[in-house]
Structure 1
Amino acid sequence: MWNDTELSRRLGLRHPIVQGPFGGGLSSVELLAAVSEAGGLGSFGIHHLAPDAIRALDASIRARTSQPYALNLWVSNADLGGDALTAAQFEAGIARLRPYYDELGLPPPAMPPRYGEAFEAQVEALLEVAPPVFSFVFGIPSAEILEQCRRRGIATIGTVTTVDEALAMDAAGVDAIVATGMEAGGHRVSFLRSAEDSLTGTLALVPQVVDRVRAPVIAAGGIADGRGVAAALMLGARGVQVGTAFLACEESNASAVHRAALFSDQAKYTALTRAFSGRLARGIRNRFVEDMRDGMGVAGLAHGTGFFPYPIQSWFTGSFKPAAVAQGRGDLISLWAGQAALLLRHRHARELFDSLVRDTGVALGQAGRQALE
């Protein structure tokens, strides 16, 4: 059976289907539990959470499911210069975004004591709660952290965007590797070269990685239905990671305006942009993406060029996101989406999961029959 793979056996899954981990508050316990209870690997992106919040979240997850699940962290969660601003730099950022604050009826925010969380403190909390699976992006944890995972029985899954990253990940001894193509929605999680220099498509990336690593490979990027799952398996992947299709489900923590955009014709047009976080990510084109093209501010109102480094840029755009969501302003928020968004059909996680399982079997059966013709 197609669902009996090295990955499903290693992680204790009935089906080798991983729900993409969404950061920035888009994940939910409800979605994770739905996927894990269906026999896949539910995931929760925790890179924005403080250590105490990670501990509380894990307790909530364990109260909802006894099945395997993954907590996901960003190994590199601050770019050069992304930990602090001078007062003058902060005021320049406010001036640059003031038209949006004014448009939303918001007073500009005060300068915060910090802009993000420290990976070292987050991973300490993760090791303490010991989830069944620790998945990570934007790098490779230290050998000491990976060894602590092994001692605690925590399976590790690292994400790569190039063959060189896959080789480094495999050498570190992770339990599985996600090979994510440029079609995927959300952040491009490259760590050896710039994201712009690491834009290999899923169809090309997956078999190249499969041929060069020992760990089972999970294909990601552009997979939204059973045909995509079947294609990934035929390329040698031992499992798949599905992001956008699960993000569109009612169980996710995506806003109503985000989900509506995913099911609209607007989803035909995605772009890679650093506008929202300072790191390259794929989302649906909207006014803010166009306003911030080439790092400029509002057309005709720019105050300098270039984006702040992550997580400072993310903090600034996050400061007006709640108001934009409340006002239904999908033109001013990140609408993360992959290039396969037009394939979305299901609005509930269990329906989506069941269709992936059913349609994968059908697609593989058809492929087998055609090969005999």
Structure 2
Amino acid sequence: MLNNEMTKLLKIKYPIIQAPMAGGVTTSKLVAEVSNSGGLGMIGAGYMTPVQLREQVREIKELTSNPFGVNLFVPNEFQVTENEIQSANQFLNPIRQQLNLHSKEQFEISHFNDVFEKFVEQIKVVMEEKVPICSFTFGIPSEEVIAELKQSNIILMGTATTVTEAVENEKAGMDIVVAQGSEAGGHRGNFINSSQESLIGLMSLIPQVVDNVSIPVVAAGGIMDGRGLIASICLGAMGVQMGTAFLTCMESGAQKVYKEAILNANEDQTVFTRSFSGKWARGIKNKFILEMQKHEPLLPDYPVQNTLTQDIRKTSAAQNNQDFISLWSGQSPRLAKSQTVESLIKNIITEAKKLSSMEAR
């Protein structure tokens, strides 16, 4: 049950993928430990420069000889006006004042061409460094990019929040598709319908995706233990991708204040917000989300809003203040534990084996 087409394809012992959490959570130690413990470690490279990505890939190769992967954000066209930036800053400046930050009017906003150029360079790094697995969020790369990666024998994984998106991933040539249920923490991976129309719960999503694609399906969203793994497999998935469970591990790069927020949260404290980045994401409700809620419809899209809130998030984190940082979390924070990666994976597999032997009886 725990060895299947997907584990063979990825050359991993257990059908467990550590979700690629961008923004410093996926340290080299975390990624390598997951791979060393029989799962698949993933670098969340969305915000990294190509140079930073290359450095981390080389660092991980020193720590593990097992396969690991890189996750990239597929760039989407975006427009922003000076007025939008000014009005967003008007909403953000009172928060800056609470943190003793100077009100900001001038920001270095990236243009789409810069974002796209960075993506092309990141792809080059993945190929040059011979990273065996590459996954994508927020869309599907171009035919040319997919063909290049395939020529380099890189296994490709896409993200889908609906059956339609999963079908598109398969058509485009993805080898595996991650079905992201609405329970998942962090950003929504939707790219066809709006975020609101793509909030299908994982238990409904998995069997419908499995019935409509022939590539292996990985379940993501609120899975924290062996029960979640076995339930996903029973519904037709070949493995799971877990974020929050790894985020509170010792090896994760999440700030102490962030880990503590998850370890002390309940299931009814996570909400969707686009206040931090301009893209809908699930996280633990805090002061920033509550203060920005009424302005959400007027905020610029990702990645503009993400740039505008950067100084607030950095300062709040430096002050160990959880009021103004993005506390991304899935819907099962009560199941989160402070433990090593090794013990997390060991516990998941022990529990899963116990459950499947009970089922076999």
Question: TM > 0.5 between the two?
Answer: yes
Cα deviation, 1:196-228, whole Å, max 9, x if unaligned, reads 111111001001111111111111111101000
Cα distance in structure 2, aligned partners of 1:266 and 1:326:
25
1:165 Cα deviation (Å)? 0.5
Contact 2:6 2:239 in 1 (8 A): yes
1:117 Cα deviation (Å)? 3.5
Structure 1 length normalisation: TM-score?
A: 0.91
1:113 Cα deviation (Å)? 5.5
Q: Secondary structure at the match of 1:178?
A: strand
Cα distance in structure 1, aligned partners of 2:198 and 2:208:
14
Q: Following superposition of structure 1 onto structure 2, how do residues 185-200 of structure 1 map, counting pairs within 5 Å?
A: 185-200=185-200
1:99 corresponds to 2:94: yes
RMSD of aligned residue pairs (Cα, Å): 1.7
* Structure 2 residue identity aligned to 1:311: P
Distance 1:33 1:310, change over 3 A: same
Cα distance in structure 2, aligned partners of 1:258 and 1:155:
32
Q: Following superposition of structure 1 onto structure 2, how do residues 1-80 of structure 1 map, counting pairs within 5 Å?
A: 2-76=1-75, 78-80=76-78
* Structure 2 residue identity aligned to 1:81: Q
Q: Secondary structure at the match of 1:339?
A: coil
1:56 Cα deviation (Å)? 1.6
Cα distance in structure 2, aligned partners of 1:113 and 1:323:
19
Contact 1:185 1:283 in 2 (8 A): yes
Contact 1:48 1:117 in 2 (8 A): no
- Structure-1 residue corresponding to 2:307: 315
Cα distance in structure 2, aligned partners of 1:186 and 1:79:
21
- Structure-2 residue corresponding to 1:214: 214
Question: Which residue, 101, 108, 111 being the options, matches 2:107?
Answer: 111
Which moved further from structure 2: 101-110 or 252-261? 101-110
Q: Secondary structure at the match of 2:298?
A: coil
1:340 corresponds to 2:332: yes
1:235 Cα deviation (Å)? 0.6
Cα distance in structure 1, aligned partners of 2:94 and 2:126:
40
- Structure-2 residue corresponding to 1:81: 79
Cα distance in structure 2, aligned partners of 1:72 and 1:13:
17
- Structure-2 residue corresponding to 1:299: none
Contact 2:177 2:215 in 1 (8 A): yes
Contact 1:71 1:131 in 2 (8 A): yes
Cα distance in structure 2, aligned partners of 1:32 and 1:73:
15
Corresponding residue pairs, total: 356
Cα distance in structure 1, aligned partners of 2:238 and 2:68:
17
1:112 Cα deviation (Å)? 1.5
Distance 1:242 1:352, change over 3 A: same
Cα distance in structure 1, aligned partners of 2:18 and 2:245:
9
Cα distance in structure 2, aligned partners of 1:270 and 1:332:
15
- Structure-2 residue corresponding to 1:300: none
Distance 1:328 1:346, change over 3 A: closer
Cα deviation, 1:242-281, whole Å, max 9, x if unaligned, reads 1110011121111111100111035541001111110000
Query: 5+ residue gaps in structure 2?
Result: none
Cα deviation, 1:288-338, whole Å, max 9, x if unaligned, reads 111111425xxxxxxxx6111111111111112121012121111110000
Q: Following superposition of structure 1 onto structure 2, how do residues 137-176 of structure 1 map, counting pairs within 5 Å?
A: 137-176=137-176
Cα distance in structure 2, aligned partners of 1:112 and 1:259:
30
Contact 1:23 1:45 in 2 (8 A): yes
1:27 Cα deviation (Å)? 1.7
Contact 2:250 2:338 in 1 (8 A): no
Which moved further from structure 2: 33-42 or 121-130? 121-130
Structure 2 length normalisation: TM-score?
A: 0.94
1:285 corresponds to 2:285: yes
1:126 Cα deviation (Å)? 2.4
Cα distance in structure 2, aligned partners of 1:308 and 1:266:
30
Cα distance in structure 1, aligned partners of 2:145 and 2:85:
35
1:141 Cα deviation (Å)? 1.2
